[in-house]
Structures are given as C-alpha cells and as structure tokens.
C-alpha cells in the first residue's frame, strides 16, 4: 500500500518573484509518494534522451529537491501529468526517471505571494 509522504521541496528564494529573479514556474506532487516539488526555469537547458529512449529532448526546467538544509536542483522536463527528471549519471550517461504527477500548478507573481502568505 502506498503511503502519502510529507516531504516538501521548495525552490530557493533567489527564484521567487518578489526577492529573486522570477524564474520560479510552478509546483507539482509526485503521485507514488505524495511529495511536493517546486520547479523553475533552467538557465542552461541541456539535451538528453527521454526516459523511454529515442531522440534527445530539452530539459528546460530545474526541479528543486531536498529540504532547506540540503536544497539542490535536478534537471527536469516538467509536463502537466509527468516529469522526466535526471537523477544521476553513470558510465552510460544520464539516469532519467519518469514520474507521474498530480496537482500541476503554474505560478504567477500573484499566486507566489498568496502561497508565501499561507506558508
């Protein structure tokens, strides 16, 4: 039985609209474990094959992972129902996972401020 997690990974304030560069784009919940993630624009998009193989695609997002102390990013391609995320690199190249997601949400400067007030 799957258990809902309570892990949340918030983007660094340097990506926020009010005090950062405004690169924050939105959030999603990973379906299998119920973990919340925020994502932002990747200033240096990379090309890599999708999880199922095939032609290279652009990983134009950064998914923020870890907690406040261990905050870091992973290259990602965030779509409305799925995220392709680069989790590692080995001798064969990138290790790419496909995550099913729910509650995909795009932020605007106004929703970012409302989320800050609620948290």
Confidence band, pLDDT 50/70/90 cuts, at residue 6: low
Per-residue pLDDT of 68-86, as tens digits, reads 655 689 999 999 999 999 9
Beta strand extents in the chain (DSSP E only): 8-9, 24-30, 36-48, 57-65, 72-78, 82-90, 93-106
Predicted model pTM: 0.79
Structure tokens at 1: 């039985």
Confidence band, pLDDT 50/70/90 cuts, at residue 3: very low
* 34-55 mean pLDDT: 86
| Residue ranges per structural domain of the chain | 8-118
């Amino acid at each position: 039985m799957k258990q809902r997690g309570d892990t949340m990974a918030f983007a660094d304030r340097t990506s926020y609209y009010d005090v950062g560069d405004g690169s924050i784009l939105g959030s999603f919940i990973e379906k299998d474990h119920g973990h919340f993630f925020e994502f932002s624009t990747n200033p240096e998009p990379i090309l890599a094959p999708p999880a199922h193989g095939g032609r290279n695609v652009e990983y134009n997002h950064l998914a923020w992972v870890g907690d406040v102390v261990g905050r870091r990013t992973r290259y990602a391609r965030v779509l409305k129902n799925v995220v392709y995320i680069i989790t590692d690199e080995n001798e064969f190249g990138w290790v790419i996972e496909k995550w099913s997601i729910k509650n995909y949400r795009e932020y605007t400067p106004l929703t970012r401020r409302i989320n800050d007030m609620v948290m």
